[in-house]
Structure 1
């Protein structure tokens, strides 16, 4: 069976020539459907650049990338936007919520771009907020919620359209230990329900909760191990 994610010899080079920076330096990677993967590395290691490649947010200098058997790099901008909309759910460290929208509005917003009618997107948004334990906070704006609650809204937004792949970039980076445990529990439940979950982190304790750990340094994968979970 073909890999869900197949990358071969991915390079991302800035300032080509004498002073070039290789953010990604020949990365080859396969991730199967249903895996729970942590990509770990220090600041500047290339892990966020790799996430941007996986998430079709950036294009490499060279290499090949197939997602669900589709050649992503051969697509137009509009086609890549469709892939992001339908295949991928994003969770960011900074939450990226709209301040003047309540939780329901924030979760519903990406569904508007998918062309869903109002009732359908409202139902999906409510269901997603229920999944992350925020059924009583749907009418609250980000300023009226804790950091952990805001990140749960961000998770609900990522999963509302039911994408098969969840990409989480430092999802617990701004959270206390209790909120971190809550978010990790939600991600584990999503994986148990069949989602492919990919976490980008610098924290070994977070990485150890995944089933596979890919370590990256200086733009290269230096280790790829399965955990004992």
Structure 2
């Protein structure tokens, strides 16, 4: 089976020259369709840079990145934007919701850019909100919801278009323990239903709930193991 994600000898260098910072240093990695992987590392380890590469938010200095069989490492900004919109659902620590839109409006927003007509995107958004248990909050704006509910809206937005990859950057970083458990249970359920889940975290407890843990340090993969 072809890997969904294949990274070959990837490097990312900032400030090339005497004061260069090698954020990624020869990283090679494969993630198969349907995996639930956690990428863990301390601040400055390179995990956020690796997330930006996997999410097509930045381009490597050198190396190759194949996503779903396509070489995306040399794509321009417009091409990368299309890949992001079609292939990856993002969940961020800060929710990134639009304050003056209700829950269903926030979920619909990326569907507009995909060219989905209003009727279909409304139905798709309602279904996504039902999946995360917010069928009773569809008309609520972010300020009218708890942090956990806002993050569930963000999850619904990420999964609405059924992208093959869910990329979650510290998805529980701003949440209490109860909301953290809710979000992790949603991610586990998505994984059981066949989604590929990649969580970026510094929290060993969060990483322990994934099926695979990839540890990064000083821009290099230090360990790559399966959880029992």
Other structure's SS at 2:222 match: strand
User: 1:120 & 1:127 partners in 2: Cα distance?
Assistant: 11
Aligned residues: 228
Residue by residue over 1:32-91, the C-alpha shift from the partner in whole angstroms, topping out at 9 and shown as x without a partner, is: 000000000001111011010000000011000000110002323222211111110000
Structural mapping, 1:106-185, within 5 Å: 106-185=106-185
Residue by residue over 1:84-120, the C-alpha shift from the partner in whole angstroms, topping out at 9 and shown as x without a partner, is: 1111000000000000000000000000000111000
Structure 1 residues 67-76 or 99-108, which shifts more?
Answer: 67-76
Other structure's SS at 1:63 match: strand
User: 1:160 & 1:197 partners in 2: Cα distance?
Assistant: 15
Q: 2:205: which partner in 1?
A: 205
Q: 1:14: which partner in 2?
A: 14
User: 2:208 & 2:227 partners in 1: Cα distance?
Assistant: 7
Q: 2:79: which partner in 1?
A: 79
Q: 1:57: which partner in 2?
A: 57
Other structure's SS at 1:73 match: coil
Q: Is the 8 A contact 2:40 2:200 kept in 1?
A: yes
Q: 1:224: which partner in 2?
A: 224
> With structure 2 as the length reference, what TM-score do the two structures score?
0.99
Gapped regions of structure 1 (runs ≥ 5): none
Gapped regions of structure 2 (runs ≥ 5): none
When the two chains are superposed, the root-mean-square deviation of aligned CA atoms in Å is: 0.6
**Is residue 2:106 matched to residue 1:91?**
no
Residue by residue over 1:124-157, the C-alpha shift from the partner in whole angstroms, topping out at 9 and shown as x without a partner, is: 1000000000000000000000000000000000
User: 1:50 & 1:75 partners in 2: Cα distance?
Assistant: 17
User: 1:2 & 1:133 partners in 2: Cα distance?
Assistant: 34
Q: Is the 8 A contact 2:59 2:74 kept in 1?
A: no
Shift of 1:201: 0.3
User: 2:77 & 2:96 partners in 1: Cα distance?
Assistant: 22
User: 1:170 & 1:134 partners in 2: Cα distance?
Assistant: 21
Q: 1:100: which partner in 2?
A: 100
